[in-house]
């Protein structure tokens, strides 16, 4: 089987390298936004959008023009790969898997990719028109490198190598199967009775972030002090993202190593975190409470956790099943009775029909496992 894997490292940068990275990221962002704006204008005019080859031809014209000739200072391969990413975004949009592509903003989408023409020698990397640089190589890279991506991460820049290698079909060392119930009070309840508390990465730094945003609101927009405050805010957001990702990686690895079959809830997170404010004609109810719930849901990273479980199970030879979570928290595993009165408390499940009691989240996880075994 073909195994694709990414390796992420932090770059050892200099002021000259950071300026080059910012130049490349800015050029790719400009090309993405420019072609996206052209396509939106063509859509409103009823004209078919530009495909990749038409956009690449247009990019060549820009690089030779007087107005956009500064794009010639950037490697053509990085700009062309940006257009391929935009083409892929349209493809997934028509397939109904993602939302329409959006315009990129500075510091939020600072990245660029090289599919070819890069060289690696140990912990050294050479990029076209940028030169050699070093990175902290924390582990060996296995497989054939297909592309390399440079991305801004807070005040740092990182490099990611995407590799591909052929491996023997793995056999999972375990034969056990578990169900997982995801929540907010308890991040993950496993059907074997294990409970994993949540990290609440955003909540931990929420006060610090609010104070930084308050300080920035009192500065003159785009002034030096305003930019300094914005840098602090970006660093806080980067810290939150890193903490959440570290937590999810460790937990997903632990569960994937110990269980061959993992049954999870097929949660519609976008619907669950939808705003309740409604419209002017039909205003919503309990808007502030729903906003707080939405913030807590998005702070957990359920979607990322499920993705991590999926590819780690493929690597280890296990499988991940997704089932409809409807009524799993109200169903009694003993008598099969379903009632909303079975769970009158957050952490306690008590069946009104047979008197069975259990931890509410563990009970839901057991129902999820049973449902997955029936549908398998």
58: which 2 tokens? 């247009």
Q: 10 Å Cβ neighbour count for 46?
A: 6
Give me the catalytic one of 246, 265, 266, 281.
265
Which of 87, 110, 299, 361 is labelled catalytic? 361
Q: How far apart are CA 321 and CA 368, in angstroms?
A: 10
Taking the C-alpha atoms of residue 84 and residue 89, their distance in angstroms, rounded to an integer, is 9
Single out the residue of 279, 280, 298, 301 nearest to residue 290, CA to CA. 298
Q: Are strands 144-153 and 156-166 parallel, antiparallel or unpaired?
A: antiparallel
Catalogue the E-assigned strands of the chain.
Answer: 2-12, 111-114, 119-121, 124-127, 131-135, 144-153, 156-166, 177-182, 188-190, 195-196, 261-265, 319-323, 348-350, 357-359
Sign, CA torsion 104/159/141/146 = positive
Q: Count Cβ atoms below 10 Å from residue 48 Cβ, excluding itself.
A: 9
58: left (phi over 0), alpha (psi -120 to 50) or beta: alpha
Active site residue 153: no
- DSSP 3-state of 167: coil
Q: Choosing from 87, 110, 181, 299, which is the catalytic residue?
A: 181
Nearest to 13 by CA among 130, 101, 99: 130
Exposed (0-12), middle (13-18) or buried (19+): which is 255, by Cβ within 10 Å? buried
Q: In what order do the strands lie in the sheet with 319-323?
A: 195-196, 188-190, 177-182, 261-265, 319-323
Has 246 been annotated as catalytic? no
- Compute how many other C-beta atoms are within 10 angstroms of the C-beta atom of residue 358: 17
Among this protein's residues, is 361 annotated catalytic? yes
Q: Which residue has the tokens 């169900």?
A: 179
Catalytic residues: 181, 265, 361
């Amino acid at each position: 089987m073909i195994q694709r894997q990414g390796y992420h490292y932090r770059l050892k940068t200099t002021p000259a390298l950071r300026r080059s990275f910012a130049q490349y990221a800015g050029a790719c962002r400009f090309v993405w936004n420019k072609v996206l704006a052209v396509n939106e204008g063509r859509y409103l005019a009823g004209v078919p959008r530009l495909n990749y080859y038409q956009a690449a031809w247009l990019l060549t014209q820009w690089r030779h023009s007087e107005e956009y000739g500064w794009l010639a200072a950037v490697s053509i391969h990085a700009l062309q790969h940006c257009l391929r990413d935009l083409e892929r975004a349209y493809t997934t949009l028509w397939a109904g898997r993602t939302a329409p592509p959006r315009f990129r903003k500075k510091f939020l989408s600072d990245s660029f990719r090289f599919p070819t023409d890069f060289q690696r020698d140990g912990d050294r990397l050479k990029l076209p028109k940028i030169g050699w640089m070093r990175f902290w190589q924390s582990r060996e890279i296995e497989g054939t490198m297909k592309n390399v991506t440079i991305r801004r991460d807070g005040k740092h820049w990182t490099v990611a190598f995407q590799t591909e290698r052929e491996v023997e079909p793995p056999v999972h060392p375990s034969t056990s199967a578990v169900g997982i119930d995801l929540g907010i009070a308890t991040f993950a309840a496993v059907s074997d009775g294990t409970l994993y508390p949540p990290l609440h990465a955003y909540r931990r730094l929420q006060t610090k972030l609010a104070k930084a945003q308050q300080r920035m609101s009192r500065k003159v927009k785009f002034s030096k002090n305003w930019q300094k405050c914005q840098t602090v805010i970006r660093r806080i957001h980067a810290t939150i993202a890193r903490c959440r990702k570290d937590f999810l990686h460790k937990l997903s690895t632990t569960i994937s190593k110990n269980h061959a079959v993992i049954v999870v809830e097929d949660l519609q997170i976008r619907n669950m975190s939808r705003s309740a404010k409604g419209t002017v004609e039909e205003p919503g109810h309990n808007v502030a409470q729903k906003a707080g719930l939405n913030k807590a849901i998005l702070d957990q990273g359920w979607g990322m956790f499920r993705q991590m479980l999926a590819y780690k199970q493929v690597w280890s030879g296990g499988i991940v099943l997704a089932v409809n979570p409807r009524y799993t928290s109200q169903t009694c595993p003993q008598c099969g009775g379903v009632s909303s009165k079975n769970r009158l408390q957050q952490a306690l499940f008590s069946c009104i029909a047979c008197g069975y009691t259990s931890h509410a989240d563990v009970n839901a996880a057991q129902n999820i496992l049973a449902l997955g075994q029936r549908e398998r």
